[in-house]
Amino acid sequence: MEKKAAQSPDRNRKETVQEPDGIFAVRQADTQNAGTDYPLRDSVIPDNGTTTHVINDRSRFIDELWPSKDVVYAGATVVPIEGIGTAAITIQTPLGPREILLAEAAYVPAFYTNLACLKKFNDKNVWWDNRRNLLYKNDHETFAYCERHCNQSTLEYNEPRPRTLSKASFDPIPDQKEL
């Protein structure tokens, strides 16, 4: 067990409490929106809890977006998906940077960061080794390296850049075969 300092109810003295090794802390970010300088806003995180790729920057999409009436759930918040399309991200491979396409990615400009759906990667036989912090294929071949930033694994890391939110544009749903 690990000892951690905890704030006592009277807020003036700290107590040491025992936490079992299996308890994990969840850190809540300050209330922000995608237009703020959240450190991972312009980065891409591999995520095994999402069922779709989520992209918060319209400029990542390589095609027009088609309309969606779906939503994504983030904690107790329901956020509308403004459109669906194919988004480009840049991964680090053993041969250097490589652009890949994320098919049927949800455009959600209000999201704090971009999420790469690991289930969709798994469907293409690409797996995350969180111990070595990389994606691999064919049971041993490195597909992409991940990095650690802000205590998160990142598939693509970018410093936040100034930007304004834009409206989505829509086209009919194309037949996509990407990740």
The pLDDT tens digits of the residues spanning 73-102 come to: 988 999 999 999 999 999 999 999 999 999
Amino acid at 169: S
So where are the chain's domains?
A: 39-154
Q: What percent of the chain has pLDDT over 90?
A: 64
Highest-confidence range of 31-35, 93-97, 162-166, by mean pLDDT? 93-97
Q: Is pLDDT above 50 for 126?
A: yes
pLDDT at 16 over 80: no
Q: pTM of the predicted model, to two decimals?
A: 0.71
Strands 77-80 and 71-74: antiparallel
- Is the model's pLDDT at 51 over the cut of 90? yes
What is residue 74's predicted lDDT score, i.e. its pLDDT?
86
User: Does position 32 have pLDDT exceeding 80, yes or no?
Assistant: no
